[in-house]
A = this chain, B = another copy of it.
């Protein structure tokens, strides 16, 4: 027993590994993907804009997802219906405090949810205007954006960027903003129809524009949390 513990001591006695979660909260503003950032309270990088994140609290969090939900709620006041694990970033190099490990998650919300949370300290920055982020947050965000683009081509993921109700032309422009290219209108409607996730809101039309009003739709109740997948991409290019 003494011998064994001398050759391989248990990890938590020997390794002060810093365990954190970071959340990439994405939304769409003026047709551009934006990420929510906050000024850091403490060193290192105090005052610098960074991803909302924090330590895993083993005493209160059931698991890392719990820690991510709690951190997002505490730091931004938002509870996101869609929150998925992205990847884990780790190593000695990424944090000056020492060997660290961050389990990262990404979330998509319509931008009125961010407005409703009413936290002026939450800053939305366009994903192509990011500068001087601390740690490896730039890489984490790039990974999240890539994941969202890849998934969007094959799934209903972008509906989480829309509000409770929306028109098909609105949804199409959300897809186009994410994929970064125009989508054929007829093909798009065929795909959405195949996904079978939307239902028209009886009698609700988008009024006020100087043209034929569009039908409003909402997500079918059973698709509140999980995605629907297509067999083929919406658009072959990427």
Contacts and interface: CB of A to CB of B under 8 A. Distances in A.
Interface of A: 4, 8, 10-12, 14-20, 42, 55-59, 62-64, 66, 85, 87-88, 90-93, 98-99, 101, 103, 231-233, 236-238
B103 A88 contact: yes
A20 to B, nearest CB: 7
A195 to B, nearest CB: 15
A78 to B, nearest CB: 21
Contact of A101 (B10, B19, B231): B19
A20 B232 CA distance: 37
A88 B19 CA distance: 12
B238 A92 contact: no
Given A64-B91, A88-B88, A99 B11 contact: no
Contacts of A85: 87-88
Contacts of A92: 58, 62-63
